[in-house]
Amino acid sequence: MSMNALLILSPSLLSCVPLWRPPVGSVCFYGQCSYYCSTEHAVCGRPRLMEASLGVLLPDPSLAPRHIWRSPWRRSYSRSKRAK
């Protein structure tokens, strides 16, 4: 997906996701949270293209029961609690 097309198609994205252009000419963004959301942990296109996968429109668990597996690579985003 072209990052430039994403910005054109989703003007509301500009109001909720911090975007910037680093010196290498890419388009980058990062989330809004208290711990890992900064320019040091950003997602950038190369230079303006990004490959991504997104799963959406899952039915309610009461309609379609499913298994949930915890990731073995999960992280703890708490400064006071270590990951197990």
Asked if pLDDT for residue 13 goes beyond 70, the answer is: no
pLDDT tens-place string over residues 19-52: 777 777 777 877 777 666 777 777 887 776 777 7
Please name the amino acid found at residue 58.
L
| Residue-level pLDDT at 48 | 67
Structure tokens at 67: 């298994």
Which token pair is 63? Answer: 């309609």
> What tokens appear for 69 in the block?
């597996």
**Residue-averaged pLDDT of the chain:** 72
> What is the mean predicted confidence (pLDDT) over 64-80?
77
CB 3 within 8 A of CB 27: yes
pLDDT band at 17 (very low <50, low <70, confident <90, very high): low
Q: How far apart are CA 34 and CA 78, in angstroms?
A: 10
* Contact predicate 4/28, CB 8 Å: no
Q: By C-alpha distance, which of 39, 1, 34 is closest to 20?
A: 39
